Structure 1
Amino acid sequence: MIDLEGLATGPDTTILTIAAQAFDPFGSGHYDRHYYARVTLESQENRSIDDGTIAWWATQPAHAREEAFGEQDRIPLDQALDELGRLIWHAKLIWAQGPTYDMNILEHAYKSYGKALPWKYYQVRDSRTVFSLWPELPIPPTSHHALEDCRRQIGMLQTTLQHLNVKELK
């Protein structure tokens, strides 16, 4: 599962944080393998920042803003993409909640650095579509901490697949 937090909504969004969490869609919980990075804004001078998104961040809880905007432990986007790629290159499927946000942004970032994508287009899956198949799915609140949100989405996906009695994905 991949999740990121950013400063706009288009493919060239400035990325604040990136997370990926390995898991079994038919299991429970997640594996120990995960990735989380807070990205420097200075490494993304040509990426977009949207005033509306900045205003939205101002309405989020203080702990979410601190995690997204805090200065400590940030790395350049180029480094974050390399590190993320090392985790996900061997994954059978890549999940995101609405891949038109997370995956489009990451694809744009990889291409802007001339890097090969660490996934194939046919591996990307949308957890939000799966959730919509069970309208009564209990939905816990989003934290806007990318790794916590990955884990939240994994739990919801596993619960939905179990509820729908899905035993296999192609």
Structure 2
Amino acid sequence: MPEFNDLMIDIETAGLPPNGALMAIGAVFFDLQNCSVGPTFSRTIHVGSSVQHGGVIDPGTFLFWLRQGDEARKSVAYNGQPVDQVLSEFSAWILSTCRHEDVRPWGNSNSFDLSILGGAYARLGLKAPWHFSKERDFRTVRNLHSHVEYDPSAKGEGAHNALTDAVFQVQHLFKIKQARTKAAHA
């Protein structure tokens, strides 16, 4: 059984770091050694709740969402839960798979996804469920391996769905690992 300590996190937000108003969290545990995917987490957050707790809506980000397709807009517009409830559930969900001290959160990039998410925890007086020294940056790894095709349009209508994006990013890490393994054996 693989051990899952790596966690790809993607968020949807109405703003920019560090105070962007959260609208959704998607996350997937994965094992890079075995290229296996573990448990997933997906919640929509009521943007009003995010704003009520200090999240900020950025006009440019608001316009970005207006230009997205129906599926993307609907994915963050309905069934939102209070931000404090979602963050508490997220922390408990992580703990159900590994200790907070062991989790290695990945973001695209950590200065965006993890910064905004960490800011939301801080505004609510909650401790983020990871240590900053364990943060990983998917964008940096992706750019260091630019020869491995990265085509986010392959997500189609699933683009800008936090869980779909997180899983896509993990699959790309697997492609990078496979390319490196192939090159090492060539």
Q: Among 16, 28, 31, which residue is 1:21 paired with?
A: 28
Choose which of 29, 40, 49 in structure 2 pairs with 1:34. Answer: 40
Q: CA deviation at 1:107?
A: 0.9
Aligned-partner SS, 2:149: coil
Code of the residue aligned with 1:154 in structure 2: it is V
Residue 92 of structure 1 aligns with which residue? 103
Q: How do 1:4-153 residues align onto structure 2 when only pairs under 5 Å count?
A: 4-31=11-38, 33-44=39-50, 45=52, 46-69=54-77, 71=78, 73-89=79-95, 90=99, 91-141=102-152, 143-153=159-169
Structure 1: runs of 5 or more not aligned: none
Query: Helix, strand or coil for the counterpart of 1:135?
Result: coil
TM-score (norm 2): 0.82
The Cα RMSD (Å) is 1.7
Q: TM-score, normalised by structure 1?
A: 0.89
C-alpha distance after superposition, 1:50-98 (max 9, x if no partner): 11111111221211111122x2x22100011111112224253111110
Does the 8 Å contact 2:148/2:179 carry over to 1?
no
**Greater share of residues in helix:** 2
Runs of 4+ in 1 over 6 A off after TM superposition: none
Unmatched runs of 5 consecutive residues or more in structure 2? 1-7
Contact preservation (8 Å) 1:29, 1:154:
no
Aligned-pair CA distance for 1:29: 4.4
Q: CA deviation at 1:145?
A: 0.2
What's the secondary structure of 1:122's corresponding residue?
helix
d(CA) in 2 for partners of 1:26, 1:159: 12
* Paired residue total: 163
Identity %, equivalent residues: 29
- SS at the partner of 1:35? strand
